[in-house]
Structure 1
Amino acid sequence: MDGRAHVVDAYCPHLGANLAVGGRVVGDCIECPFHGWQFRGEDGKCTTIPYTDKVPDFAQIKTWPSCEVNGMILVWYHCDGGAPEWAVPEQAEITSKEWVYRGYTEHFVSAHIQEIPENAADFAHLTFLHGPVFMSGTDLRYTRSKLWDSVKHCWKAEWQPEPEPNKHCSQMVVQHSLTVFGKHFSFLDFFVRARQVGPGLVFLTFEHAFLGRGVILQSVTPVEPLLQHVVHRIYYQRAMPAAIPKFILNVECIQFERDIMIWNNKQYLSKPLLVKEDSTIQRHRRWFAQFYSKNSTRFTRQKDGLDW
C-alpha cells in the first residue's frame, strides 16, 4: 500500500455488489466481496479476476478526485464532470500537530444546501436567535426564559468574499462578548474567523485571552435532496486540558441546534422579502451562485395544488 486514500464508486461494475459491505483493501486495490474482483484505487483499473486468466482492458470502476487534508478525506464532485478547480488549504497547526483532535458532533439537517452557509451573512439572526445565553438550551420555546434573561451573548460580525485567486472563499469575522445584567465582562470576549472554502467546508478559527486557540472544521455533505450531513471537528492546542475544547464544542453544538430547529421547519425561498439591512444576504447568494452550473439539480416545488 502507498498510504494514500483513494475514492471509487460504491458498486462493483460486474454485478453491482456494494464494495463497502464486505469488501476489503488488498494492497492498493479494493476487493469485491461477491466474486473477488480487485480494482486499483489510483485509476480504477481491474487488476485481478480470480476465475479468469485475462482481465479485459475495459474492466474498470469509476474513480473520484479526492484529497486527504486536516484529518479528513474530501471528494471533489462537479455535476458536469469538471476537474478540481482549487485545493483545500491545510491548517498548519493541525499538520504540525500543534493542535490535536478533541472531538466532534454530527447532525442531519433537513434544509436546502445553501441555507447553512448563508447563516454567515445573516447578521440579524445572531442577536435574536443566539443572543440568549447557551445555558437556556436549544428549544426555542424556552431560550428566552426569565431564569437566564439577565445573561446575553453579544455579537458583532462582518462578511466578505475573497478576491481572486480565492473567489471560492469567503470570510466572516465575529467578535463575541457576554453581558450579565447589562454589564460587559471582558474576560469572556473571544474572536472568531469563519473561512468558507467552497460550498461545504468552513474553518472556524478562534482565540481567547486565556483559553487559547483552536479550530472547528465544519463539513456539509448532501445526502439526498434537502438533507445535509453536518460534522463539526475540533482541534485545539495540545497543552490545553481537553475539557476546554470539549466545553467550546458543546457550546457551539447548542447554538447550532438552535439553527437546526429553524432549518428543519422552514422552507427555502429563492426570492425572499428582504430589507436594506439584509443586503449581505443577497451578496452572499450572488457569491454562492458560482457553485451551481447549468446542469445543477434545481430545487422545485409544486406551485399549484396540493401535490407536495
Structure 2
Amino acid sequence: MLLLWYHCDGTGPAWAVPEQPEIITGDWVFRGQTEHFVDAHIQEIPENAADTAHLAFLHGPAILSGSDLRYTKSRLWDFMKHVWEAEWQPEPEPHRHCSRMQLQHTATIFGKRFPLLDLSVSARQVGPGLVFLNFKHAFLGHGIILQTVTPLEPLLQNVVHKIYYQKNVPAIIPKFILRAECIQFERDVTIWNNKQYLPKPLLVCEDAGIQKHRRWFAQFYSERSRRPSGPKGDLDW
C-alpha cells in the first residue's frame, strides 16, 4: 500500500503511519479488497464511529437481508439480529491525531445469542482518512481491515477496504468477513449519498459523541481548507 501526505498549506508530515507487525512479518496475508465511491463530505465517513445510536437501526438487521435498505427489515430474515456495543474516544498526546472505537458484536437467532458469531473489533483512526480495523474471533483467528478514504472532489470520496488475515486460516473465512463488512458499509453509503453535511447540526443528548468527534476532527482543517457551507437556517430543507 502506498500512502502520500498532502496538506493544503504545503506543510510536511506531522505524524508517521504505524506499521502492522503481522503484515510486515508475513503472518497475515492479503485476502481481498472492496472499493466504493461515496457522494459525501469526507468527515461524514469517520464520524460514523461516534454515531453509536445508528448501529441498532442500520446494522442490526441480518446481513442475509443485504444492503438495500428497502428490504433489510424484511420478515424473511427477521429471525436473526446483530447486536452492537461501541465506544469511541480520541487518543491523548502524542497521538491526538488518532482516535479509537471499541466494538463488540454478538448475534441472536430466534432471540437466542449465537456465540460462534461473537467478534471483537478495535478500530483505530490515524488522521482523517486511514483506519486500522483489528478484529479477533475465538475460533476463526485474527486479522485486520485497512480502510482508506481519498477525496476525489469536495463531496466525492474513494473508499477502499483491504483485508489481511492469518495465512494458516482458509481464505474463505476472511473473504466472508470482508463480504459481511461490505454489506454493512453499503448500508451506510446509501445514507451518506442521500444526506447533506451540516456544519452545525441540531443534536440531542444521545448525539453527544458526534459533537465530541467534530471537535477532534477540527484539527485536520486549516484556514485554507475548503469547507462546505450549510443552509442559512438549521431547519431549512
For the superposition of Structure 1 and Structure 2, which TM-score range results when normalised by the shorter chain?
over 0.9
Q: Distance in 2 between matches of 1:91 and 1:78?
A: 25
Is residue 145 of structure 2 the alignment partner of residue 213 of structure 1?
no
Q: Distance in 2 between matches of 1:269 and 1:292?
A: 16
Q: Distance in 1 between matches of 2:205 and 2:21?
A: 39
RMSD of equivalent CA atoms: 1.1
In the TM superposition, residue 303 of structure 1 has moved relative to its aligned partner by: 4.9
Moved more, 294-303 or 128-137: 294-303
Is residue 109 of structure 2 the alignment partner of residue 176 of structure 1?
no
In the TM superposition, residue 143 of structure 1 has moved relative to its aligned partner by: 0.2
Is residue 211 of structure 2 the alignment partner of residue 282 of structure 1?
yes
The structure richer in helix per residue is 2
Q: 1:140 aligns with which of 63, 69, 75?
A: 69
The equivalent of 1:105 in structure 2 is 34
Is residue 133 of structure 2 the alignment partner of residue 204 of structure 1?
yes
Matched ranges for 1:49-68 at <5 A: none
Cα shift readout 1:23-72 (whole Å, capped 9, x = no counterpart): xxxxxxxxxxxxxxxxxxxxxxxxxxxxxxxxxxxxxxxxxxxxxxxxx1
| One-letter amino acid of the structure 1 residue matched with residue 189 of structure 2 | I
In the TM superposition, residue 301 of structure 1 has moved relative to its aligned partner by: 5.6
Q: Distance in 1 between matches of 2:102 and 2:231?
A: 38
Moved more, 268-277 or 164-173: 268-277
Q: Distance in 2 between matches of 1:284 and 1:149?
A: 33
Q: 2:188 aligns with which of 245, 249, 259?
A: 259
Q: Distance in 1 between matches of 2:116 and 2:146?
A: 25
Runs of at least 5 residues in structure 1 that lack an aligned partner in the other structure: 1-71
How many residue pairs were aligned?
A: 233
What SS is found at the alignment partner of 2:134?
strand
The equivalent of 2:222 in structure 1 is 293
The equivalent of 2:49 in structure 1 is 120
Is residue 104 of structure 2 the alignment partner of residue 164 of structure 1?
no
In the TM superposition, residue 281 of structure 1 has moved relative to its aligned partner by: 0.6
Greater RCO, CA 8 A, separation 6+: 2
| One-letter amino acid of the structure 1 residue matched with residue 4 of structure 2 | V
Q: Distance in 1 between matches of 2:206 and 2:193?
A: 25
| One-letter amino acid of the structure 1 residue matched with residue 164 of structure 2 | Y
Cα shift readout 1:130-175 (whole Å, capped 9, x = no counterpart): 0000000111011000001111000000011011100000000000
Is residue 28 of structure 2 the alignment partner of residue 96 of structure 1?
no
Q: Distance in 1 between matches of 2:218 and 2:232?
A: 23
The equivalent of 1:228 in structure 2 is 157
Q: Distance in 2 between matches of 1:194 and 1:231?
A: 15
The equivalent of 1:249 in structure 2 is 178
Percent identity (aligned)? 71
Runs of at least 5 residues in structure 2 that lack an aligned partner in the other structure: none
In the TM superposition, residue 300 of structure 1 has moved relative to its aligned partner by: 2.6
In the TM superposition, residue 185 of structure 1 has moved relative to its aligned partner by: 1.4
Greater than 4 Å deviation, 4+ residue runs: 301-304
TM-score by length of 1: 0.74
The equivalent of 1:39 in structure 2 is none
Matched ranges for 1:72-83 at <5 A: 72-83=1-12
In the TM superposition, residue 270 of structure 1 has moved relative to its aligned partner by: 1.2
Structure label with greater radius of gyration: 1
The equivalent of 2:122 in structure 1 is 193
